[in-house]
Structure 1
């Protein structure tokens, strides 16, 4: 993880699926958990979803507040 990845979480939007258009940082925990169970997509979006899952799972979402 690079520091700029945290900024991407609050600027990149989900490109597909039920939450298309929602910021990665605003995706609900159960949706992130589903990806963790079923597999994250490949590429940068998968890496960002995995990072957001770790942040959400560990209760660290408030770390993103200053970046918003």
Structure 2
């Protein structure tokens, strides 16, 4: 399972999804949770990047496709505890 590979808890992943910025491309600097769904659909069809960014993008895609964006709104601007 991809999540196990990064050894992260569910709450930490949700915090990262709500507070991580896109590092490159057309939406560089945009929060992952604010990426437009068509952009994520493109990645879904053409392949997500490898590594943690790909895991986060595929997770945000699933959240948006299933209409669960509201789960991330209260988590914005909260820093993950290490």
TM-score for both structures, normalised by structure 1: 0.95
Write out the 4+ residue segments of structure 1 that deviate beyond 4 Å after TM superposition. none
Partner of 2:7: none
TM-score for both structures, normalised by structure 2: 0.79
Report 1:22-33 matches (<5 A).
22-33=30-41
Which segments of 5 or more consecutive residues in structure 1 lack a partner in the other structure?
Answer: none
CA radius of gyration, larger in: 2
Query: How many residue pairs are counted as aligned between the two chains?
Result: 68
- Select the structure with the greater relative contact order (CA < 8 A; seq sep ≥ 6): 2
Q: Distance in 2 between matches of 1:37 and 1:53?
A: 11
Which segments of 5 or more consecutive residues in structure 2 lack a partner in the other structure?
Answer: 4-9, 77-82
